[in-house]
Amino acid sequence: MKAQKTPIRIMADPSRVITRFFLPGAESRAGAIVDQVATLGDDEVASLVTEVLARFSWRHKDIEEVLLRHFGAAARLGALNGTLPRERRLLIGAYCTLEYAIEAVALFNPSMVMHPVQEGTRDGEVRFLMSVRACGEGHISSIVFRTGTVDRSGRIQLDPLGRFASTARPKLEEEIAQEGYRAELQAKEVYDDFARRVLADLTDPFSITELVSAIDRHRLDESSSPAARTETVSWMLWLAQSSYHLDFPVDVEISERVIFPSHEHERRGIEDARFVRFTEDDGHVVYYGTFTAHDGSFARPHVVETEDFRRFRIDALTGRCLCEKGAALFPRRIGGRYVMIARLDGESLFCMQSDNIRCWNEATKLHGPTEPWEYMLVGNCGSPIETSRGWLLLTHGVGPMRRYCIGAMLLDRDDPARILARLREPLLVPDEEDRDGCVPNVVYSCGAMLHGDRLILPYGVSDTATRIASLSVPELLRRMNGDS
């Protein structure tokens, strides 16, 4: 069985840019910039500011606010005088600002979910939201969004993009609950006597500032070795600082919002978000997305939580059963527990269960490479989709010439660690029109959406562009069971 490809091809757009703080060389450069600007007369400063605003104000929603904020950042680093006239602050801020093209390299590996707002759709039509991995200079990845509709016949229409691209400033978790924090330390096997004493010295909940103070008070405790204390402190601070919030202004459209690396553990990019529309037992709906954060040396799984794709909470996942990448959450609890599919050993799929969505300690092997097109490794292509016959799980397999193909299997609804049926051949392969790109011979998805009896399957093309295919779910289920 083969998926039907649509003509839609979403390409990277290098004109979509965000602003970033920029200070070349040592921090002392901030003072040098101020000294040089001080030699300019008022008319020359005004002329330079006018030119900057004319060239860049149409590319950013509020360029003056950005320039003033970056001046403030430089002032804090270089102990500059923050009382300079506004135009001189704007000019110094411009020297401390650069544009970053978030899609300069590629736009790929999408996941698709039902849009949280369905008002205004026609009969048989559904509005969708698609996350996409955007890759820019230095191959740093971020998460961007596209929206559109699918009508009753399966025709897909993409919405126009918003005019700008905007990031949100991260806010660290103000209050950290002791129970969850302690469980995460235990999962990392660093909940030693030093950690116990520190937590005993804190309120519940506690702030990061209070945690740092408590750690400093207990650092000289001689009951544990300096090496052990160093490792424990490192993990305690990392866990506390890995949780943060992003809050985009109401007037920033969804397609303008960019989740860009915000912290040290993400500095080399955040990759391959797998979003799922999760329904709690009481009917409450929340969206979760799992993604991989890179710091240049290590890759760690994270989860982002949102109800409206405007306010986001981001946390590191912890536990003994975690892979570097490729975790996908089921869209509801099963038997009262969270369930997730991930690759733990580098080559096989595992089914994981937990009572805590941010901490995973139990796993059962689900499926390893068995077919020639997946002999190298198998992984998931997004969250399982519930059907009347069971959980439909899209997979990817890697075969000869490192060719990535997309396959499918059916899992038991009540026991998702049990495979009911699977395709022996892939349903989507990197053929001649999809094989060329930054990483050749790859088709890869981070999540599809069910619409009626059709599966809408967005997929990445050789780590370069994004396409959308569709297929009949009843036919897919028949083929997986060996029916003609």
In a shared domain, residues 319 and 416? yes
Rounded Cα–Cα distance for residues 57 and 72 (Å): 19
In a shared domain, residues 361 and 380? yes
As a whole number, mean pLDDT of residues 171-195 equals 84
How much is the pLDDT for 80? 61
Query: Taking 50 as the threshold, does the pLDDT of residue 432 lie above it?
Result: yes
3-class state of residue 189 by DSSP: coil
Which pLDDT band holds residue 23 (cuts at 50, 70, 90)? confident
- Higher pLDDT, residue 232 or 394: 394
As a whole number, mean pLDDT of residues 33-55 equals 93
How much is the pLDDT for 79? 53
In a shared domain, residues 313 and 410? yes
Final residue in a domain of this structure, among 222, 241, 260: 241
How much is the pLDDT for 484? 39
| Lowest-pLDDT choice from 21-25, 221-225, 300-304 | 221-225
User: How does pLDDT run across 59-91, given as a tens digit for each residue?
Assistant: 999 999 999 999 988 887 765 666 789 999 999
In a shared domain, residues 137 and 59? no
- Our measurement of the distance from residue 151's CA atom to the centroid of its chain's CA atoms, rounded to an integer in Å, reads 28
Q: Which residues have a Cβ under 8 Å from the Cβ of 58 and sit 6 or more positions away?
A: none
Strands 385-387 and 390-398: antiparallel
As a whole number, mean pLDDT of residues 121-132 equals 97
Q: Residue 483, Cβ neighbours under 10 Å: how many?
A: 9
Final residue in a domain of this structure, among 76, 101, 126: 101
- If we measure between CA atoms, which residue out of 267, 217, 260, 211 comes closest to residue 239? 211
As a whole number, mean pLDDT of residues 333-360 equals 94
In a shared domain, residues 237 and 252? no
Query: Taking 50 as the threshold, does the pLDDT of residue 240 lie above it?
Result: yes
How much is the pLDDT for 223? 60
Going by the DSSP 8-state scheme, the letter that residue 76 receives in this structure is H
Structure tokens at 369: 């490479």
Query: Taking 70 as the threshold, does the pLDDT of residue 225 lie above it?
Result: no
In a shared domain, residues 287 and 143? yes
Q: What mean pLDDT is reported for the chain? A: 92
pTM (2 decimals)? 0.92
- Single-letter amino acid, residue 19: T
Query: Taking 60 as the threshold, does the pLDDT of residue 355 lie above it?
Result: yes
Query: Taking 90 as the threshold, does the pLDDT of residue 379 lie above it?
Result: yes
How much is the pLDDT for 24? 74
Which pLDDT band holds residue 163 (cuts at 50, 70, 90)? very high
| Lowest-pLDDT choice from 321-325, 360-364, 373-377, 406-410 | 321-325
As a whole number, mean pLDDT of residues 191-200 equals 92
Do the beta carbons of residue 294 and residue 324 sit within 8 Å?
Answer: no
Q: Which residues have a Cβ under 8 Å from the Cβ of 10 and sit 6 or more positions away?
A: 107, 132, 146, 158, 465, 466, 467
In a shared domain, residues 263 and 411? yes
What residues make up the domain containing 263?
4-11+107-169+243-480
Do the beta carbons of residue 357 and residue 340 sit within 8 Å?
Answer: no
In a shared domain, residues 395 and 466? yes
Going by the DSSP 8-state scheme, the letter that residue 24 receives in this structure is -
- If we measure between CA atoms, which residue out of 216, 209, 177, 191 comes closest to residue 315? 177
How much is the pLDDT for 155? 95
User: How does pLDDT run across 453-463, given as a tens digit for each residue?
Assistant: 999 999 999 99
In a shared domain, residues 273 and 401? yes
Judge residue 155's burial from the number of C-beta atoms within 10 Å of its C-beta, 0-12 exposed, 13-18 middle, 19 or more buried. Answer: exposed
Name the residue with tokens 């979003």.
275
Distances (CA, A) of 30 to 42, 85, 87, 94, 219: 20, 17, 17, 12, 35
Q: Which residues have a Cβ under 8 Å from the Cβ of 381 and sit 6 or more positions away?
A: 394, 395, 396, 406, 444, 445, 446, 447, 448, 459
As a whole number, mean pLDDT of residues 461-469 equals 98
Final residue in a domain of this structure, among 82, 101, 120: 101
Rounded Cα–Cα distance for residues 347 and 329 (Å): 19
How much is the pLDDT for 108? 98
In a shared domain, residues 275 and 413? yes
In a shared domain, residues 69 and 87? yes
How much is the pLDDT for 83? 77
As a whole number, mean pLDDT of residues 106-128 equals 97
Structure tokens at 471: 């297929």
CATH code of the domain covering residue 452: 2.115.10.20
Query: Taking 70 as the threshold, does the pLDDT of residue 236 lie above it?
Result: yes
Do the beta carbons of residue 397 and residue 378 sit within 8 Å?
Answer: yes
User: How does pLDDT run across 266-298, given as a tens digit for each residue?
Assistant: 999 999 999 999 999 999 999 999 999 998 888
In a shared domain, residues 329 and 447? yes
DSSP code per residue over 290-347: EEEEE-SS-EEEEEEEESSSSEEEEEE-BSSS--SS--EE-SS-BTTBEEEEEESSSS
Q: Structurally, how many domains does the chain consist of?
A: 3
